[in-house]
A and B are shown apart, each in its own frame.
Chain A
Amino acid sequence: AQRVTQPEKLLSVFKGAPVELKCNYSYSGSPELFWYVQYSRQRLQLLLRHISRESIKGFTADLNKGETSFHLKKPFAQEEDSAMYYCALTSPTGFQKLVFGTGTRLLVSP
């Protein structure tokens, strides 16, 4: 069964501290992994995807197939990073039916 696990409901850090939001998945095969973000009073939007291997707003995420993880990292958190973050996966074929984790709320304090 496809499943995404985000073990932390809330992650609270101070501005300038490193951030790591954890995501583990179970999937028989090679899924595509994504991080979606929802800022306060805004809609859910794509932050980054593993196939792009890019850094968005200072965030990076590396797919570790051995550990079935896709943790989101940022070396120095900013207050504007405070948001709800969802890890999601989809089959590489088909219509990109996303399976989401339950989300982690990141709170960055000044």
Chain B
Amino acid sequence: DAMVIQNPRYQVTQFGKPVTLSCSQTLNHNVMYWYQQKSSQAPKLLFHYYDKDFNNEADTPDNFQSRRPNTSFCFLDIRSPGLGDAAMYLCATSEVRGGSYEQYFGPGTRLTVT
């Protein structure tokens, strides 16, 4: 089944210790998104890649970076995690060639910061 895969599903990191979350897709979609969802809150877009073009949301902290080495993979790097960065991180993909297209979500990675 074509899908969006996120690894790991659960990640524990220490305060200030860099962490990387990964996302891969078999859908061959041209856009990949990263969302942050804190407890009882709405998913919030951090940034997205349209092909190789990186688009950062204005209010995404500098602490969050992303890499997309190829069509299939996208990484979320948190350089110095704080306690406030504990959240569910959702990766999504879509094929955007004009019009409205569905976003396909991965299962998420739950990040705990100790």
Contacts and interface: CB of A to CB of B under 8 A. Distances in A.
Interface of A: 4, 9, 32, 42-46, 49, 51, 86, 90, 92, 95-103
A43 B107 contact: yes
A98 B108 contact: no
17 contacts: A9-B40, A32-B100, A43-B4, A43-B108, A44-B43, A45-B105, A46-B102, A92-B100, A95-B31, A95-B55, A96-B31, A96-B94, A96-B100, A100-B42, A100-B43, A102-B40, A102-B41
The DSSP consensus for interface residues of chain A is loop
Interface residues of B, number: 25
Nearest to A6: B42
B103 A86 contact: no
B19 interface: no
Contacts of A32: 100
